[in-house]
Amino acid sequence: MPVPVAGCADSTPGDVPVGKRGVPTGSDGDRPLRRDAERNRTRILAAAGELFADQGLEVGVDEIARRAGVGMGTLYRRFPNKDALVDAILQTVVEDSRSVAEQALATRPAADALRWFVIQTVDVGVPGERSVKHVFLSNRLWTGRMHELMYEQIVPLMQRMFDNARAAGAIRPDVAFTDVLVLVRALRGVIDVTDPVAPGTWHRHLQLIFDGLHPRATAEPLVPGPLDFEGYRSATSRPALP
């Protein structure tokens, strides 16, 4: 899946730590679930991830249960309600994203970390599970809740990448951090359309966007001024959709 990315040294998504999956952790830290229970939990998450991503959040719970090969009751034993299921999906994804961000900060050159992070976050996937990538690929799941989670857990790490990139001269002076956040968010729209027909093509548009952020692209003054941080926060934490 990872298309070769110009300017990005070889990325090896395989060794990106993907959450703690495999370790039989339940959801919190209660105690390990029984083997079959854990397997069902995983199945449900996978089924829900795919169906949500494919058909939107309004897929019926029974359809999810059917696809996961479990009964309704099982689903509801694992997740108290539909919302909890959605949250679990998003949480999974966000966790994966965070470990990618940490790796980006630790191992990538400053000028390149942000773009590498975005690419890896989207392209990473657990072998045999479509759900993670699927969630990232579906605009339908980028609801208010998703942004809340991203804001809390990912944005601070992105800020550090941004600061490093600017210090390295890779960001034009009139561009603010919130501009990057906003444009990366916009990227979702790109991926959502292009990926089904030409997987990986969105890397090209990501590059175009970053080209616009580079000092050499500077043209007339940007009008109006950027959002401040609080503005972005309030923009992305509006009440979740019904």
- Amino acid, single-letter form, for residue 214: H
Q: Which does 160 bind (CB under 5 to 8 A by kind): DNA, a copy of itself, none?
A: none
Let me know if 76 is exposed, middle or buried by CB neighbors in 10 A (0-12, 13-18, 19+).
middle
> Does 71 engage in binding with DNA (CB under 7 A)?
yes
Q: Residue 9: how many CB atoms within 10 A of its CB?
A: 11
Answer yes or no: are the C-beta atoms of 85 and 50 closer than 8 Å.
no
Q: How far apart are the first and last CA of the chain?
A: 34
- Residue 61 Cβ vs DNA, minimum distance, rounded to whole Å: 4
Beta carbon nearer to a copy of itself, 108 or 188: 188
Range in contact with DNA (rule: CB under 7 A) among 54-62, 87-95, 167-175, 215-223 = 54-62
Q: Which residues contact a copy of itself by CB under 8 A?
A: 3-7, 55-56, 58, 147, 175, 179, 182-183, 185-190, 193-194, 196-198, 200-201, 203-205, 207-214, 216-227, 231-232, 234-236, 238, 241-242
Q: Which does 117 bind (CB under 5 to 8 A by kind): DNA, a copy of itself, none?
A: none
Task: Give the count of residues interacting with DNA (CB under 7 A).
Answer: 25
DSSP symbol at 8: S
- Residue 193 Cβ vs a copy of itself, minimum distance, rounded to whole Å: 5
Beta carbon nearer to a copy of itself, 107 or 234: 234
Let me know if 180 is exposed, middle or buried by CB neighbors in 10 A (0-12, 13-18, 19+).
buried
> Does 42 engage in binding with DNA (CB under 7 A)?
no
Beta carbon nearer to a copy of itself, 7 or 26: 7
Range in contact with DNA (rule: CB under 7 A) among 29-37, 117-125, 164-172, 177-185 = 29-37
Q: Residue 107: how many CB atoms within 10 A of its CB?
A: 10
- Residue 44 Cβ vs DNA, minimum distance, rounded to whole Å: 9
Beta carbon nearer to a copy of itself, 7 or 32: 7
No. of helices (H) and no. of strands (E), the chain: 11, 0
Residues near 227 by beta carbon (within 8 Å), at least 6 away in sequence: 176, 178, 179, 182, 235
- Residue 147 Cβ vs a copy of itself, minimum distance, rounded to whole Å: 8
Q: Tell me the C-alpha to C-alpha distance, in Å, between residue 114 and each of 8, 76, 121.
A: 11, 39, 11
The site for DNA (CB under 7 A) is made up of: 33-37, 40, 58-62, 65, 69-74, 76-78, 80-83
